[in-house]
Amino acid sequence: MNYRAIWAIYTSEMMRTGRTLAQSIVSPVISTALYFVVFGAAIGSRITDIDGVSYVAFIVPGLIMLTLLTQSVMNASFGIYFPRFIGTIYELLSAPVSFLEIVIGFVGAAASKSIILGLIILATSALFVPLHIAHPFWMIVFLLLTSITFSLLGFIIGIWADGFEKLQIIPLLIITPLTFLGGTFYSTSVLPPLWQKIALANPVVYLISGFRWSFYEISDVHIGVSVAMTLVFLAICLAITGWIFKTGYKLKN
């Protein structure tokens, strides 16, 4: 294992975050704070408690998950796409580095950034609602699994994309709608029965439900199912990444 190469890629990616602090950290924190103000304080004050949890507190796990998903995908996809776009990928391909090490470097950095962001947003939420985390261990597990899984998805998108439009299209047209429809702002139990069943086809439902359970012990689906579905999604992303390794898809001619 070329640990120095993993570290070189990881630190280089993390330095990029440092350079774009406003875009990488301040902007998501501000938009999350706006969600708290609008949905929590303004609209939320007129919404009754959900399963004994105030609405503003109810949306905290969903908002963290929303940031985690979008930031993981964006960071990882941009991280690998940018070297492809400007041509510096030649150095990664000509260095004594395996594809696995490249993935660990990029995905590790993207996941680290989203975890840091998730924790910052968690801390920000403490300014709006009293924090209560019933199962800190499971909260961390979901945080880790989700950020790694979606960073892998972002990496795949960054390899697949051959233009900035494609790079944006999946996060905008798929991830964001799935997150909003996945129970960020509501419990799927409030949906009509048919839509409840349809919602189960949305993988984000399992992530938000499990994550919310780790806070308040309330969930749309059983925690075991949430963990299993997250692992299935992780396995799918790993399988696709493995296929990219094997074929050199879009990396080598």
Residues that bind other proteins (CB under 8 A): 2, 4-5, 7-9, 11-12, 15-16, 19, 83, 86-88, 90-98, 248, 252-253
Q: How far apart are CA 72 and CA 151, in angstroms?
A: 5
- Write down the least CB distance from residue 110 to other proteins, Å: 17
Nearer to other proteins, 16 or 135 (CB): 16
- Write down the least CB distance from residue 153 to other proteins, Å: 24
Coil, strand or helix at 57: helix
- Write down the least CB distance from residue 71 to other proteins, Å: 20
- Write down the least CB distance from residue 45 to other proteins, Å: 44
- Write down the least CB distance from residue 7 to other proteins, Å: 6
Nearer to other proteins, 195 or 249 (CB): 249
Nearer to other proteins, 4 or 132 (CB): 4
Nearer to other proteins, 163 or 248 (CB): 248
Q: How far apart are CA 225 and CA 208, in angstroms?
A: 12
- Write down the least CB distance from residue 249 to other proteins, Å: 12
Question: Other CB atoms closer than 10 Å to residue 137's CB: what's the count?
Answer: 9
Q: How many distinct helices (H) and strands (E) make up the chain?
A: 12, 0
Q: How far apart are CA 87 and CA 164, in angstroms?
A: 15
Q: How far apart are CA 97 and CA 3, in angstroms?
A: 9
Task: Give the tokens for residue 173.
Answer: 């047209």
- Write down the least CB distance from residue 38 to other proteins, Å: 34
Q: What letter would DSSP give residue 53?
A: B
Sequence-distant (6+) residues with CB within 8 A of 236 are none
| Chain centroid offset of residue 67 CA | 6
Sequence-distant (6+) residues with CB within 8 A of 214 are 61, 133, 134, 135, 136, 138, 139, 141, 142
Nearer to other proteins, 95 or 200 (CB): 95
Nearer to other proteins, 99 or 180 (CB): 99
Nearer to other proteins, 16 or 166 (CB): 16
Q: How far apart are CA 140 and CA 208, in angstroms?
A: 13
Q: How far apart are CA 7 and CA 13, in angstroms?
A: 10
